[in-house]
Structure 1
């Protein structure tokens, strides 16, 4: 053979129909998608008492919906309380449904070489908001939500692109837990109503 490296690249006897699997997957997608939800009803949206706080998942990769690229949840911060504090590589947008509050944001210096390094900046910024406002959280910003009302809940809708996770960049770090967080708790409507009434 004319190529000196042929002894190397001709090695191996494993055969797999990987390209055909891509074709088969594309052909099966319409029928598969027809079985996936385009409308999600409240009773199909799971609750979670997470380290970030009280969440009702609206759209999630594990919920068998037609949404391919985005996750969304409603976050409820009880009167006088706060969310957890975390940082993630993907940018996030939140719509303030109810109440008033403020965010604390701390940007980070990022260096991506063979490894991924981030260093929090000294400056911490406060952003106030109320129902009807939209909150933008830049990539890799440490952030936390605070309910400024002593007697009304703060409700936020969070949307985040899951493409970072699909690209192997699910850089999510929990820095502080929400006060209400309790591992393994099973939420009921009665418990949630209690969270909304009482200051933490």
Structure 2
């Protein structure tokens, strides 16, 4: 949280052309955060909570120490028989249901959800969370809000009259400027909407990706990764940074920094030694931009994780994941 208020977009300044020193400081920050880390308790400049609901941030652009602003992570908790106040904003959000069940009201439409669902707050949505049941509901929320803010898409708030109303005409249908057909896409991705696949990364359940054109989200890609006890994921390199949330189990991650050697063209130089990061249930693990990563489960403890990243990297030309090593359980298709 910023010292003078809520930070929506973090600035980058330097007295030199390069930003090497900024990157060194960023990479020195601890990449694993647990329940002891609350970087924003939603007491300043937030409008969604009611007297009963609770929101708190784990990763965001105002963090000290700073990790990233490409993706933000926070939690929403709804006690039994409760709701939040609700509000509206232009940015999307995706929230994974960690426990409980409930429903949403988005633009006056109801969407029910339960544990292990991924639910989307669509662009330009007025939304409110409800838990009418007898158990607590908790959601992990991931979003690329800073991307919207950087692009000037910052209209948000609670319901109320338009300021300077006499200067504006009558209401128009906002959805006229949305992607055609978007209102027919799914707002809730449940277990029944997904399949587990063996991939070079490991056993994966994709919930949101550019290929999932049935899902109403454009900014966040998300999947679950299941690593058997004593096994490991594939060893992979990509440009996008990433946040993992540990759903079950314990293990560790190895991460190798990739440096750019700018000669007659760009060359990648992978660090000879990785950094090691211990993780357990409830932790978030941050993987910085332009890194090689591999995840390991401990013997006797399967490891299940939720991955989220900002899809904008794919639109910028970084839409390939390069595998230096496949997961042990993966068998590559044989050429026909």
The question of a shared fold, defined as TM-score above 0.5 by the shorter chain, is answered with yes
Spell out, residue by residue over 1:87-123, the C-alpha distance to the aligned partner (whole angstroms, 9 max, x if none).
Answer: 1000000000100000011101124677432101233
How many pairs are equivalent? 159
Residue segments in structure 1 that go unaligned for 5+ positions in a row: 1-25, 185-200
Q: Does 1:180 align with 2:329?
A: yes
The CA deviation at 1:28 is 6.8
Given the alignment, which residue of 312, 330, 335 partners 1:163? Answer: 312
Could you say what secondary structure the match of 1:61 adopts? coil
CA contact (8 A) 2:238 2:318 kept: no
| Partners of 1:130 and 1:46 in 2: CA distance | 25
Given the alignment, which residue of 172, 182, 185 partners 1:36? Answer: 185
Q: Does 1:57 align with 2:206?
A: yes
How is 1:2-151 mapped onto 2 (pairs within 5 angstroms)? 27=176, 29=178, 32-63=181-212, 64-111=214-261, 115-148=265-298, 150-151=299-300
| Partners of 2:210 and 2:198 in 1: CA distance | 18
The CA deviation at 1:27 is 3.9
Spell out, residue by residue over 1:127-169, the C-alpha distance to the aligned partner (whole angstroms, 9 max, x if none).
Answer: 1010000000001111100001x22310000011121111212
When residues 112 and 57 of structure 1 are mapped into structure 2, their CA distance, relative to the original with a 3 A threshold, is: farther
CA contact (8 A) 1:49 1:183 kept: no
| Structure with greater proportional helix content | 1
Structure having greater relative contact order (Cα 8 Å, sep ≥ 6):
1
Give the TM-score normalised by structure 2: 0.45
| Partners of 1:32 and 1:118 in 2: CA distance | 41
| Partners of 1:83 and 1:95 in 2: CA distance | 15
CA contact (8 A) 1:53 1:84 kept: yes
Structure with bigger gyration radius: 1
The runs of at least 4 consecutive aligned structure 1 residues that moved more than 6 Å come to none
Give the TM-score normalised by structure 1: 0.73
| Partners of 1:94 and 1:53 in 2: CA distance | 15
The CA deviation at 1:68 is 0.2
| Partners of 2:247 and 2:190 in 1: CA distance | 18
| Partners of 1:137 and 1:61 in 2: CA distance | 21
Could you say what secondary structure the match of 1:107 adopts? strand
| Partners of 1:30 and 1:174 in 2: CA distance | 34
When residues 33 and 178 of structure 1 are mapped into structure 2, their CA distance, relative to the original with a 3 A threshold, is: same
